[in-house]
Amino acid sequence: MFVVEFGAGFRAASLSLTGDSLDMLGDALVYASSLYVINKSVRAQAGAAFLKGVIMFLFAIAVFARASYQLFAGASPEASIMGVIGVVALLANLFCLLLLTRHRQDNLNMSSVWLCSRNDIIANTSVLAAAVLVSLTHSILPDLAVGLLLTFIFAKSAGKVLSQSWQEMQQVQ
């Protein structure tokens, strides 16, 4: 889904769609690295978490750079592409959320995965709202607002993960 959403976001010149696609890629990387280190040492788990934080921070920089470009270039996003791909992404995330719902109370890991999926629904809904507002107003501002909100969320999450993982790595030395 990341590839589809990223390609569509690039084609539609949509910051919010591109940002949401990076969130999907980040989720995939986070889940994969979490599975990889599940039975590894605390240090390996902290190192994987630190890597996740770095990736999230790089995504924040990438979305902010794209926002800066779009603001100065005045590239107007294509609301129709944003809407169609936004709906597909929302359906994909709803499917994942439904699969995870029965396991959300199993343990902390499953609970956190469920919360990430729930947050993805919020991000998808924000992209759809931006698409509607772009269509109604013929303005770049709703797309920029959602894209910059995603940038803020990436940066804040990255800071938290980096801080916690760094502290844990220092404790196990």
**Whole-prediction pTM value?**
0.74
Reading the chain (173 residues) residue by residue, the pLDDT tens digits are 889 999 998 898 888 888 888 878 877 877 787 778 777 787 777 787 788 788 878 888 888 888 888 788 777 888 999 999 999 999 998 998 898 888 777 754 566 667 677 778 888 898 899 999 999 999 889 988 988 888 888 788 778 878 888 888 888 76
Distances (CA, A) of 96 to 5, 68, 92, 144: 16, 33, 6, 27
| Neighbouring C-beta atoms of residue 154, cutoff 10 Å | 24
> How many structural domains does the chain have?
1
CB 150 within 8 A of CB 127: no
Domain that residue 112 falls in: 2-171
